[in-house]
Structure 1
């Protein structure tokens, strides 16, 4: 797998790009060379078909390996993959062809949905185009993404997706917004889109399509895969540190490594379970179950990552948390990236789903 081969190189470069205002430009050139920027496209568009339901496991494993190499790269790459999948699901034939060609040329896509009080609005113009007003926050890859998929309110209040060619339209990036604990290199700035324009050819799908289930909430399995890659990096570096410092004979270190191995393998089993569940034939028709399982998976992965960090800290001690050891950066990045929206609501919604079912536990998720 290309991503697995690239992960060590990404890890070696991670410290160099770990700075506020930085961005892993060279790393994304490597991803393009490895054909990973086009991998989520269908085969007839020059991709590797990773958007197909029966290739979900391969997609999640790709995301995990990129995250294992560098969580910041993984975060931006997951957004790129998400945008390409949304584009293929909701776009018209001529749009898909155009945007796929952009991806093959190396354009970076992403998804900018989060906003504050001055959110994005589309003002209808007499010529059929729309003028944009307002801003997005947490615009990962701002200043580097040239094809972000953005959401905004139409004049009637409905929610519309569009893909903005930022290399052709004016935007104002505010780096001062992004002063994070971790994930510094994602360049998740505030982006003011005021006075940029889009036409009908830039609008993606119908109003409200962005929040269609199970695609919206079910997509959590992708960022959870990247998070698991970060936990694997912590595991690998912890084991290396103990070997380098001659502490592998300590019975308590062995106990902790055993616990870490249980956590990491549990995460990989959740990854496989999520891929199987998302690729079942009735995944779209039975969206409630699909979303519930995705919420279980993201909850489990978050817990695995948090416990991995705690055990790793005990293994390496204060000495291991000093630079140039990678633990300080990995801890910051993974801790920050785990703060995804509405974690309590996600697990509560899974609880609601299982309470509404009468199916016995052994077949609740159709494992048989």
Structure 2
């Protein structure tokens, strides 16, 4: 089935979006491992399609149809609610590898898919049972979820009304998938200063989009517009959790491992394309090319070890929680993978030279997308937090992250 899509005529400066309601349900994947394998099989198809969806203001509509058909859009739901249990701590490695494969196929798809997964995990953690069942049903019917948290200049506020409903005012920026995400998870400021999560039924309460905001270097196909919610209303059943839950640790910072997995997938794609390019030109005997490829292989595989470490830490933390250690470890993972990607990019450039950076070779798009996506918020603060944790804990290095 097609992904919910915005009618082309409605996209513009602060225009309203008309959304098609998804209606089809697809059988769930039987396990987290099956989801990982489905993502690996889909990655080459996503990669081949990526140049066609790489348009400013565009969206990978067809690709999300494929994710829906394979059952990947419901994989993060519990098995009893029609998912694959991919959000369980025991399935952490399969989740990270699934995200890596989607990022390997198309980083723009990976960004929106990671936001969808993030929203499903948040609603499972903080939602009431009836809410979780309802939103799981929405995901099964094909609705695309996302997390929109970045405030615009006017911010988003939530005003209680006398009839038990709430009115939204203000805007978000970087609303990835705007016009296609039909169940966005938002944070909104309450009159007392607290921050409340809500999941907006955007097929009924349709926000206004400003596509002119999105003039990016890369990630063009994510449709990360400015979104204005002014005047929309929600009910109490649309509110998720308690004020402040969105920022509760270790879940707020711990999610960084998921976007890092998507980024690592792009580094793998660059590595694979570099080898293909050099083989096609018969330049595999050059000792300097071999040295660069050797360094790239080391970097990419070290990233996979970081994903393994992140999954191991999450599984252990489920039994013996240590929020500060979990936050610091997640910050190490995102910092390490960022550094890996930043080192892979110039190595690939030197391998392929100016010829390889010409379209239709994929390096130009991969370079733009990964460079843009690596600009996650507060990278220096994340690394400083690791140092703070290490300085405040007396354990020897071999025990610091493993207790």
How many Å separate the matches in 2 of 1:93 and 1:337?
34
- The corresponding residue for 1:104 is 140
Alpha-carbon distance, 1:255 to partner: 0.5
- The corresponding residue for 1:68 is 104
What do residues 67-93 of structure 1 show as CA deviations (whole Å, max 9, x unaligned)? 000000000000000000000001011
How many Å separate the matches in 2 of 1:154 and 1:278?
32
Alpha-carbon distance, 1:273 to partner: 0.4
How many Å separate the matches in 2 of 1:110 and 1:23?
14
How many Å separate the matches in 2 of 1:326 and 1:332?
10
Contact 1:110 1:148 in 2 (8 A): yes
Matched, 1:35 2:71: yes
Structure 1 unmatched runs, 5+: none
TM-score (norm 2): 0.90
Contact 1:283 1:290 in 2 (8 A): no
- The corresponding residue for 2:123 is 87
- The corresponding residue for 1:160 is 196
How many Å separate the matches in 1 of 2:247 and 2:387?
21
How many Å separate the matches in 2 of 1:66 and 1:75?
9
Contact 2:152 2:226 in 1 (8 A): no
Alpha-carbon distance, 1:285 to partner: 3.0
Contact 2:89 2:318 in 1 (8 A): no
Alpha-carbon distance, 1:240 to partner: 0.2
2:343 to 293, 303, 307: 307
Q: Secondary structure at the match of 1:23?
A: coil
What do residues 258-298 of structure 1 show as CA deviations (whole Å, max 9, x unaligned)? 00000000000001001111121457731000000000010
Matched, 1:266 2:315: no
Q: Secondary structure at the match of 2:73?
A: coil
Between 223-232 and 277-286, the greater mean CA deviation after superposition: 277-286
- The corresponding residue for 1:136 is 172
Contact 1:213 1:284 in 2 (8 A): no
How many Å separate the matches in 2 of 1:236 and 1:283?
38
How many Å separate the matches in 1 of 2:185 and 2:317?
28
Matched, 1:56 2:92: yes
2:211 to 166, 175, 180: 175
Matched, 1:358 2:391: no
1:204 to 234, 240, 243: 240
How many Å separate the matches in 2 of 1:314 and 1:284?
46
TM-score (norm 1): 0.99
- The corresponding residue for 2:157 is 121
How many Å separate the matches in 2 of 1:246 and 1:88?
52
The count of corresponding residues between Structure 1 and Structure 2 is 367
How many Å separate the matches in 2 of 1:101 and 1:119?
30
- The corresponding residue for 1:340 is 376
Matched, 1:255 2:298: no
How many Å separate the matches in 2 of 1:211 and 1:53?
20
- The corresponding residue for 1:330 is 366
Q: Secondary structure at the match of 1:277?
A: helix
How many Å separate the matches in 2 of 1:323 and 1:354?
46
Between 306-315 and 355-364, the greater mean CA deviation after superposition: 355-364
Q: Secondary structure at the match of 2:316?
A: coil
